Amino acid sequence: MISTLFKSFKLTVAFCILFSVCYIFILWIFAQVAGPNKGNADVVELNGKIVGAANVGQTFTQDIYFWGRPSCAGDGYDASSSGGSNKGPSNEEYLAEVESRIDTFLVHHPYLKRGEVPAEMVTASGSGLDPDISPKAAYVQVQRVAAARGLSPEKVMALVSANTEGSLLGLFGPEKVNVLKLNVALEKAAMNK
């Protein structure tokens, strides 16, 4: 027993060296070379200034921006404390909250019919940091953003199309629009107006 425990100790230390040191080191080197941002989260820049992590959503509340999904991470898009709502499908309190989100969404987009409100814009994402919305969820916001920016809806629509990422190889998975990248493109378009 004691001798096996001692062997266990030595073997565990050996495994630490193999995995927690060697394996980590190989991947770390690989990330320095092949990672998008040398092992850190990939970032998005505007005029040479970092305005966010490409894959991490952020809060947008102003009318001049496209909005992302509701978030339950901390106080909303807290990237140091990811989290979903964990509300069950039958929870009355939760359903009332969705109902009020629909109303709020309609107040800001008075031109929409109720049946056009995409469900993902009134339900919280799993991580609370969802960086994307569906193209449909972007289309319904175009008119509001265009009006707030003084841009033509066609131009804003073109930006949405340019920022829509298709399915993987055109075959697998949903289409999506990265909200931050779209808003950065929007800022650039507004500057060159």
Partner 1 sequence: MNTELVGSITQIVLMIVLAYPLGMYIAKVYKGEKTWLDFMAPVERFIFRLCGIDPNVEMSWKSFLKALLTINLFWFFWGVLLLYFQQYLPLNPDGNAGQSSHLSFNTCISFMVNCNLQHYSGESGLTYFTQLFVIMLFQFITAATGMAALAGVFKAMASKTTQTIGNFWNLLMKSCTRILLPLALIVGCILIVEGTPMGFDGKMKLTTLEGTEQMVSQGPAAAIIPIKQLGTNGGGYFGVNSSHPLENPTYLTNMVECWAILVLPMAMVFALGFYLKRKKLAYSIFGVMLFAYLASVAINTHYETKGNPMISAMGIDQRAGAMEGKETRLGAAATALWSCTTTVTSNGSVNGMHDSTMPLSGMMEMLNMQINTWFGGVGVGFMNYYAFLIIAVFISGLMVGRTPEFLGKKVEAREMKIATIVALAHPFVILIGTAVACYYWVYNPAFVEAEGGWLNNPGFHGFSEMLYEYTSSSANNGSGFEGLGDNTYFWNFTTGLALIISRYLPIVGQVAIAGLLAQKKYIPESAGTLKTDTATFAVMTFSVIFIVAALSFFPALTLGPIAEYFSIYR
Nearer to partner 1, 8 or 161 (CB): 8
Residue whose pair of structure tokens reads 């505007």 in the numeric block? 46
65 phi and psi angles, rounded to 5 deg: -120, 155
Number of neighbours of residue 22 by Cβ within 10 angstroms: 11
Q: Does 59 bind partner 1 (CB under 8 A)?
A: yes
Nearer to partner 1, 155 or 181 (CB): 181
Compute how many residues bind partner 1; rule: CB under 8 A. Answer: 103
Stretch that binds partner 1, among 55-63, 144-152, 155-163 (CB under 8 A): 55-63
Among 34, 47, 110, 192, binds partner 1 (CB under 8 A): 34
Nearer to partner 1, 68 or 146 (CB): 68
Distance CA(187)–CA(193), nearest Å, equals 10
Beta-carbon contacts of 68 under 8 Å, excluding residues fewer than 6 positions away, are 57, 58, 59, 60, 77, 130, 131, 132, 133, 179
Nearer to partner 1, 154 or 166 (CB): 166
Q: Are 80 and 152 in contact (CB under 8 A)?
A: no
Residues 64-93 within binding reach of partner 1 (CB under 8 A): 65, 69, 77-93
Residues 4-33 within binding reach of partner 1 (CB under 8 A): 4-5, 7-12, 14-16, 18-20, 23-24, 26-28, 30-31
Residues 125-184 within binding reach of partner 1 (CB under 8 A): 125-134, 136, 167-168, 170-176, 180, 183-184
Q: Are 182 and 155 in contact (CB under 8 A)?
A: no
Stretch that binds partner 1, among 98-106, 141-149, 151-159 (CB under 8 A): 98-106
Number of neighbours of residue 65 by Cβ within 10 angstroms: 21
